[in-house]
Chain A
């Protein structure tokens, strides 16, 4: 180990040696005890334990919560109520009219989420495709522009919401531009239709770059000689697009569509900061309903929140199965987890 080391690496290297020295003896003892292939369990153990404690165990407990009532958090203090929570959520005179439901907010949230997911994913994938096609052309500053569209993906949802809240507020720059053009200012976030529109817009703004990248990677994987052959046959640009680009890009498009839907159904952070779910319940989505019911309201209805989580989980499961079915690439195609 006589390689020249960067001085900045000296400290981590020293720390690394220290950790090795401290842990080497006990790990050697363990190795003698369990033997070599089985020591793998020691290595995989911590990760597995964390997943068990914070993912698998909660899945089981969630079912228990969904079928118990009361306000206690500890499971043994919760009376078993069977299907009552689910019945409460689904008690409606007409499923098409949220105001006839006992939990009208739940149904409004479901309708809002469905509308949001369709609009947001449809528009976002369309714009991501156009952007990817443009970025795939021979243009100056390609890397720079790719970065431009990708930058908002890295921003936190709270920051994204505040950036747009500042632009959209009553005395904000958008209204100033409108006033300059002679129009009267608009309360963008205080009217239901415009608030919903801006939720869709802001969420497309924040996430489009990610999907553009996936589609761009797909476009670049299309062999150029296919286009050359099409050129020889003097195929029209539309035929080149519909017979070569679109079919070969289809796997990526499906991944992007389903992934977008899985994430759109879970929309919460940026909308919660941008509109707080309002005005009224115009931009309240399903995760916000779960959060409010379980944690934010003065009475914590854990059972109801868990039952709503089950409904959300089932819809996500359906989307995931569609993804697995359509892509066959399976789990490597991308994940519905946004943060890890």
Chain B
């Protein structure tokens, strides 16, 4: 126990490469495997053909069967490594198969046919990405519509969130008006009211506004984030009031002051909120599930959920869709990780 603690409580800045360091690295490598492994497996699997996905045990990398074009046959023929009755093994193309007997030809000399038991031939395979999984989902499932719905909700809701939250934060940080503190407490108190406890009445409100099965029914309830108001207000408090007073001397309107001075100066905080908002809206599930019931209004998350629930799940398409859905978030992560992690560490929001 004491040794475990010794290892866990060791401090940064001390150079000693003892066994505790090795345990640390082992832990981190295990973490790497556990955190990235399943995602990597998903991505690799999404490039496999349906036949390869059905294999058990599965191959690590996507392999496809080699095919050859043989004179006299329209379509490319699958290539097999066949053991002939005389004991030799040759690479042959399969022309047809009846029962357990396969008819194979030599691609170089297609005239002569060999009849072989299917147990005596093995497919010749090479590394091949089944990109058709990706290209076909757009034609087959109106995947483009779901993608568009998700992008529309994410972009529009984020823009409105930035505008409304910045306006509120500006009012709460730069003016002294009666009821200001009450308004601030009121807005921040909604941090403690998770949307899961007001699903039914919110459904009524959205339905009375005629927003059921409308993307706006997802956007409007989500834009007034207390997190955003809090984040932006804290940032705007650091902008000196003298800047605003100087602009007022020049007869700038309050709106102009907000738009030309405070908003540009708050760019770092706005960027953090924009990243958060994009992730929130892109990943939303329960509320869209309730508001959007018609399939042409589905977001990517809803479409994924609907497909995975179908009786005969076509995994090769589902995997490709999942990869496309996790792509934007992964790109955000790859390029903006530092902003996100510092934002979370400082504000304690997610």
- Name A residues whose Cβ lies closer than 8 Å to a Cβ of B: 16, 19-20, 23-24, 27-28, 31, 36-44, 46-48, 50-51, 53-62, 64-65, 73-75, 130-131, 133-134, 136-139, 143, 145-159, 162-167, 171-173, 175-176, 179-180, 205, 210, 213-214, 216-217, 224, 227, 236-238, 240-241, 245, 255, 262, 266, 268-269, 272-273, 276, 287, 290-291, 294-295, 302, 305-306, 309-310, 312-313, 316-317, 320, 331-340
Contacts and interface: CB of A to CB of B under 8 A. Distances in A.
Contact of A138 (B15, B39, B279): B15
B192 A336 contact: yes
Contact of B199 (A31, A214, A305): A305
B294 to A, nearest CB: 14
Contacts of B9: 133, 237, 240-241, 245
B34 interface: yes
A169 B203 CA distance: 35
B66 to A, nearest CB: 24
Given A54-B220, A162-B318, A36 B341 contact: no
Interface string B287-312: 00110000000000100110011000
Contacts of A290: 196, 199-200
B176 A37 contact: yes
A294 B345 contact: no
A210 B340 CA distance: 11
A273 B308 contact: yes
Contacts of A149: 31, 35
Given A139-B21, A216-B345, A145 B31 contact: yes
Given A61-B205, A155-B326, A145 B286 contact: no
B253 A214 contact: no
Which of A46, A157, A158, A302 has the most chain B CB atoms inside 10 A of its CB? Answer: A158
B69 interface: no
Given A158-B304, A340-B280, A40 B319 contact: no
CB-CB nearest 7 A-B residue pairs = A237-B6, A156-B283, A27-B255, A61-B201, A58-B201, A50-B224, A176-B57
Contact of B301 (A54, A73, A158, A165): A158
Contact of B345 (A60, A133, A213, A266): A213
A332 B301 contact: no
Interface in B176-222: 176-177, 180, 183, 186-208, 220-222
B285 A156 contact: yes
A222 B340 CA distance: 22
A137 B189 contact: no
B138 interface: no
20 contacts: A23-B259, A38-B177, A44-B183, A51-B187, A64-B201, A134-B24, A139-B28, A145-B31, A158-B301, A166-B319, A167-B38, A179-B56, A210-B350, A238-B5, A241-B9, A266-B194, A312-B196, A337-B195, A338-B194, A340-B280
Contact of B167 (A43, A75, A156, A335): A43
B296 to A, nearest CB: 19
Interface stretch (B88-96, B116-124, B226-234): B226-234
A339 B348 contact: no
A40 B180 contact: yes
A340 to B, nearest CB: 4
B73 interface: no
B201 A16 contact: no
Instruction: Give the interface SS of chain A, mostly helix, strand, loop or mixed.
Output: helix
Given A36-B175, A44-B168, A151-B330, 19 more contacts: A39-B175, A44-B172, A54-B224, A57-B205, A73-B204, A130-B27, A146-B341, A155-B326, A156-B282, A156-B325, A162-B308, A210-B344, A214-B344, A236-B6, A237-B5, A240-B9, A302-B200, A306-B201, A331-B230
A48 B183 contact: yes
B200 A305 contact: yes
B142 to A, nearest CB: 18
A176 to B, nearest CB: 4
Contacts of A236: 2, 6
Given A46-B167, A302-B200, A51 B290 contact: no
Given A133-B9, A309-B197, A332 B315 contact: no
A59 B199 contact: no
Contacts of A171: 54, 56, 58
B151 to A, nearest CB: 14
A62 B332 contact: no
A38 B290 CA distance: 39
A137 B10 contact: yes
Contacts of B127: none
B201 A65 contact: yes
Contacts of A155: 39, 283, 326, 329
A55 to B, nearest CB: 5
A158 B285 contact: yes
B266 interface: no
Contact of B205 (A54, A133, A164): A54
A50 B164 contact: yes
B183 to A, nearest CB: 6
